Amino acid sequence: MVTRTAARPGGLAGSVLVNAALAVAAVYFLLPIVWVIIAATKSPGDLYSTFGLWFSDSPQAWQNLVALFTQDGGAFSIWILNSVLYSGVGALVATVIASAAGYAFAKYAFRGKEALFWTILGGVLVPATVIALPLYFLLNSTGLTGSYWSVLLPSMVSPFGVYLARIHANTSVPDEIVEAARIDGAGDLRIFGSIATRMMTPAIVTIFLFQFVTIWNNYLLPLVMLNDPKRFPITLGLTLWNSQTQRDPMFTQLVVTGSAVSVILLVVLMVSLQRFWKADLTAGATKG
């Protein structure tokens, strides 16, 4: 016999409030993105003379893109490649280190484990502005400032990634499976590489995305470490152009178009990796 429970008015009201809050948050976060994408299709004259959230009568998106990638001998293309290098390599290495460290904290017992873990996690609380100058002096003493390594090396560490990997390894990698693999003769590296990483895939993808976006949007570290425009990432390069807007208003449109391209690249990355989260949710829904 099937019984139905009447919906509680309080539950309906709560659902409406939550959905309304989510809608407001979505508008708040999406509005700047919509503005910059639309503004990237306008001419410099229409940029501020037309309504910001609608296209102008004479869009020139292609002309803006051509100007963006040909300005200063194609400097923007170099900045994109630099950003991909910093973000891709830094996020990949940080993900590997954080995943391995988080798995070790979750599955192994050793002296000082909790003290070491909370020390690493304390790195999340340290502002980037506090460690920028010590990092500069440290890397300057080894002659690395001004090189790609001066941005890459600090980007290969993710304290939050270690925390996330430990939490996910605790919940998604059962101890029974680890013990069974050991009985079958598998070593620790093989267990982590062949079994644990597959179960931790959503966490690994999340760590990679968080670290990639953090490095991609990083401005302070490249500003402190780099002095050659050929090694600038997008953030520093667009700031360089933005400083010239008083001399030539055309740079305003270049900065806006460059920002739109940067945002679109991040959106494409997020959408392309979203399937890993969906796969994990589906797998969880079919267990039982």
The model's confidence at residue 125, banded by pLDDT at 50, 70 and 90, is confident
Assign 33 to helix, strand or coil.
helix
**Per-residue pLDDT tens digits for 68-115:** 999 999 999 999 999 999 999 999 999 999 999 999 999 999 999 999
pLDDT (tens digit, 9 = 90+) per residue, 47-71?
888 887 888 888 899 999 999 999 9
Dig out the tokens for 136 from the structure: 């500069």
pLDDT at 278: 56
Averaged pLDDT for residues 238-263: 92
Residue 23 has pLDDT above 70, yes or no: yes
Report the top-level CATH class of 73-286: mainly alpha
Domain map of the chain by residue range? 11-59, 73-286
Instruction: Flag whether the pTM goes above 0.85.
Output: yes
In Å, what is the CA distance from 52 to each residue of 25, 39, 67, 160, 267?
A: 20, 7, 21, 37, 21
CA–CA dist 277, 285 (Å, integer): 12
pLDDT of 287: 44
- Mean pLDDT (whole number) for 225-235: 94
Q: What is the pLDDT of residue 286?
A: 38
Residue 285 has pLDDT above 60, yes or no: no
